[in-house]
């Protein structure tokens, strides 16, 4: 059954949020959904531990870069949809997951379009596709976009991606407190209390439109693969071969039709080749490296509350720096296999140490 990954090495791009929205909407329509929680922060597993998780959502959280292929294979045999929430870093785990995916969604913050994270993911997808000798359909999903009328900068972002030949989903995920509340309160979005959650109806509508579009895309992929399999006489990747070619219809908000998905034969990617191809795009193993010596964090320096923007679950820090500083920071984080938050904490450690020496 279809495997959908959410990937972008940029932290905080909205992977976890959009993965859970899709899973919740599919489950609300009665589909069995497995979520592979490969985000080291384990937000979805924490959500699952709260009351309200429907029984038709299974969360698998013990997953490593080595086990992910087996985990996804198992999950796709036993569930109608498999959704993989990936970590916000360039790693071999991401490459392995992409190699198993029928559709990769690349959540990208609409307001501060981080072309670097998205293009890094697309490069990896193309390498993995070449290796697997199959298409790995993918699309950018603009996230956290303003609820106000579509801004000019958002249109620019869409135009730029279009010009680069990159598919962008028509629906985007709007910035809504309801999405943070879903993770804090647990349960399905549509089951939250509208008295406690602002604009819940709009949030549900947005999640439904996004899900309808993803389902329509999967059907289009299924039809294409069916045709390709008929033409080359090779085994299909598993969706319903006999269906007419479906061109992606504009999503209807009230129609998420889950019929027509047949069990598929998962094609396991070759581990060694995947690792080699992934390394070319700078997605390297993080698990085989010797663990870094644990350095106790110095007492945290108090940060003025006004500088830090708190979200429901974590804190986000937006910095304005020169482009070369950002490049350098990414390069250091990538070279060490650190997520950006981790790299920032290491830098803080050093600053604290040097401050203590003075």
Ligand X SMILES: Nc1ncnc2c1ncn2[C@@H]1O[C@H](COP(=O)(O)OP(=O)(O)OP(=O)(O)O)[C@@H](O)[C@H]1O
Q: Which residues bind ligand X (CB under 6 A)?
A: 11-17, 39, 41, 43, 88, 143-144, 173, 175-176, 179-180, 183, 311-314
Say which entry of Mg ion, ligand X, none residue 311 contacts (CB below 5 to 8 A, set by partner kind): ligand X
Nearest to 283 by CA among 131, 76, 169: 131
Q: Which residues inside 74-93 make contact with Mg ion, applying CB under 5 A?
A: none
Residue in the shown chain whose Cβ atom is closest to ligand X = 88
CB 18 within 8 A of CB 142: no
CB of 176 to ligand X, least distance (A): 5
**Stretch (H or E) spanning 133:** none
Only one of the segments 34-42, 164-172, 174-182, 326-334 lies at the binding site for Mg ion (rule: CB under 5 A); that segment is 34-42
- Which stretch in 14-22, 24-32, 51-59, 308-316 sits in contact with Mg ion by CB under 5 A? 14-22
Sign of CA dihedral 234, 239, 244, 247: negative
Find the part of the chain contacting Mg ion (CB under 5 A) among 37-45, 62-70, 189-197, 276-284.
Answer: 37-45
**Residue 240 interaction partner, one of Mg ion, ligand X, none, beta carbon < 5-8 Å per kind:** none
Give 222-229's long-range contacts (Cβ < 8 A, gap of 24+).
222/2, 222/246, 222/260, 222/261, 224/135
* Residue partners of 145: CB distance under 8 A and separation at least 6: 110, 111, 151, 154, 172, 173, 174, 175
Phi then psi for residue 13, to 5 deg, are -75, -15
E strand segments, 273-335: 309-310, 315-316
Smallest gap from residue 13 Cβ to Mg ion (A): 8
Residue nearest Mg ion (C-beta atom): 16
How far is 358 from 350, CA to CA, in rounded Å? 13
Out of 16, 79, 91, 128, which residue is the one contacting Mg ion (CB under 5 A)? 16
Beta bridge partners of 104: 5, 138
Taking CB under 5 A as the rule, does residue 15 contact Mg ion?
yes
Contact between residue 187 and residue 50 where contact means Cβ atoms under 8 Å apart: yes
Partner interacting with residue 176 (select from ligand X, Mg ion, none; CB below 5-8 Å by kind): ligand X
Work out how close the CB of 88 gets to Mg ion at its nearest, in angstroms, rounded to a whole number. 6
* Residue 284 binding partner per list Mg ion, ligand X, none, with a CB distance cut-off of 5 to 8 Å that depends on partner kind: none
Q: How far is the CB of 39 from Mg ion (least distance, A)?
A: 4
Q: Which neighbouring-strand residues pair with 310?
A: 315
80 vs 109, which CB is nearer to Mg ion?
109
Sign of the dihedral through C-alpha 171, 172, 174, 179? positive
Of 121 and 143, the one with the shorter C-beta distance to ligand X is 143
Q: 265 or 316, CB closer to ligand X? A: 316
Answer for which of 39, 65, 102, 334 binds Mg ion (CB under 5 A) is: 39
- Give the footprint of Mg ion on this chain (CB under 5 A): 15-16, 39
């Amino acid at each position: 059954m279809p495997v959908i990954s959410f990937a972008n090495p940029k932290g905080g791009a909205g992977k976890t949020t959009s993965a859970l929205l899709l899973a919740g909407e599919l489950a609300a329509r009665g589909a069995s959904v497995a979520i592979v929680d490969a985000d080291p922060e384990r937000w979805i597993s924490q959500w699952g531990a709260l009351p309200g998780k429907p029984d038709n959502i299974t969360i698998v959280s013990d997953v490593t870069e080595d086990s992910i292929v087996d985990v996804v294979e198992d999950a796709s045999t036993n569930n109608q949809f498999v959704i993989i929430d990936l970590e916000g870093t360039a790693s071999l785990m991401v490459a392995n997951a992409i190699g198993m995916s029928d559709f990769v969604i690349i959540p990208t913050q609409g307001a501060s379009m981080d072309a670097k994270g998205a293009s890094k993911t697309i490069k990896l997808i193309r390498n993995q596709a070449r290796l697997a000798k199959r298409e790995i359909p993918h699309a950018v999903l603009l996230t956290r976009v303003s609820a106000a009328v579509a801004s000019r900068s958002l249109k620019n972002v869409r135009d730029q991606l279009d010009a680069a030949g990159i598919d962008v989903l028509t629906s985007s995920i709007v910035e809504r407190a309801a999405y943070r509340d879903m993770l804090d309160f647990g349960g399905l979005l549509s089951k939250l209390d509208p008295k406690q959650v602002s604009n819940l109806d709009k949030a549900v509508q947005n999640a439904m439109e996004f899900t309808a579009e993803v389902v329509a895309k999967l059907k289009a992929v299924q039809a294409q693969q069916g045709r390709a399999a008929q033409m080359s006489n090779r085994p299909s990747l598993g969706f319903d071969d006999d269906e007419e070619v479906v061109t992606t219809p504009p999503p209807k908000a009230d129609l998420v039709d889950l019929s027509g998905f047949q069990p598929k034969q998962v094609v396991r990617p070759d581990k060694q080749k995947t690792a080699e191809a992934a390394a070319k795009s700078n997605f390297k193993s993080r698990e085989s490296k010797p663990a870094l010596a644990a350095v106790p964090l110095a007492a945290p320096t108090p940060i003025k509350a006004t500088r830090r923007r708190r979200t429901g679950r974590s804190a986000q820090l937006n910095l304005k720096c020169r482009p070369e500083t950002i490049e350098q920071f990414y390069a250091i984080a990538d070279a060490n296999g650190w997520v950006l938050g981790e790299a920032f904490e290491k830098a803080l450690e050093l600053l604290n140490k040097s401050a203590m020496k003075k």
